[in-house]
Amino acid sequence: MSSNLKYSVSLKNAQQDAITTKLGASCLIDIMSGAQPAGPDTALSGQTVLATLTGNATFAPAAAGGVVTLNAITNGTGTAGAGAGTVATWFRMKTSGAVAHIDGTVGISGCDLNLNNTNIATGQTVSVTGAHFDNAN
């Protein structure tokens, strides 16, 4: 039997608000190179952290229309692993205690997390230009 689940907007909002609750204050966002693993429960294997950014103490306002839009994220700096301009391919978002909860795409636009530049060099400032997570069902 196939599935055709559809959720009410209020349930979508509650699901998205759970992200804010789960990540808590000042979550960490690792900008990564290499292949994105199956999910945040999968250990890293050969991927490189290019920069780590810190989320706002208040992660996001309440979701609206099933979408949570993040508050400001502190800029990060390209780590030694970034080398001379390694391409960022994905991100891992975790609590300030380093428990991973979200993996997603990075790019300049149209991704889960949009950056000012995806070619990250050691010492380079890394800025988020936009981020949101939605529940399309």
Does residue 135 carry a pLDDT above 80?
no
Would residue 2 count as lying in a domain?
A: no
Which domain does 86 fall in, by range? 9-130
pLDDT confidence band for 131 (50 / 70 / 90): confident
User: What integer pLDDT is reported at residue 136 of this predicted model?
Assistant: 67
Would residue 17 count as lying in a domain?
A: yes
Q: List the helix and strand counts (H, then E) for the chain.
A: 1, 12
User: What integer pLDDT is reported at residue 81 of this predicted model?
Assistant: 76
Would residue 3 count as lying in a domain?
A: no
**Would you list the DSSP string of the chain?**
--------HHHHHHHHHHHHHHH-TT-EEEEEES---SSTTSPPSS-EEEEEEEE-SS-----BTTEEE---EE-EE--GGGTEEEEP-EEEEE-TT--EEEEEEEESSSSSEEES-SEEETT-EE-EEEEEEE---
pLDDT digits (tens, 9 = 90+) for 88-127: 999 999 999 999 999 999 999 999 999 999 999 999 999 9
User: What integer pLDDT is reported at residue 83 of this predicted model?
Assistant: 75
pLDDT digits (tens, 9 = 90+) for 45-86: 999 999 999 999 988 999 999 888 889 999 999 997 777 778
Would residue 50 count as lying in a domain?
A: yes
User: What integer pLDDT is reported at residue 115 of this predicted model?
Assistant: 97
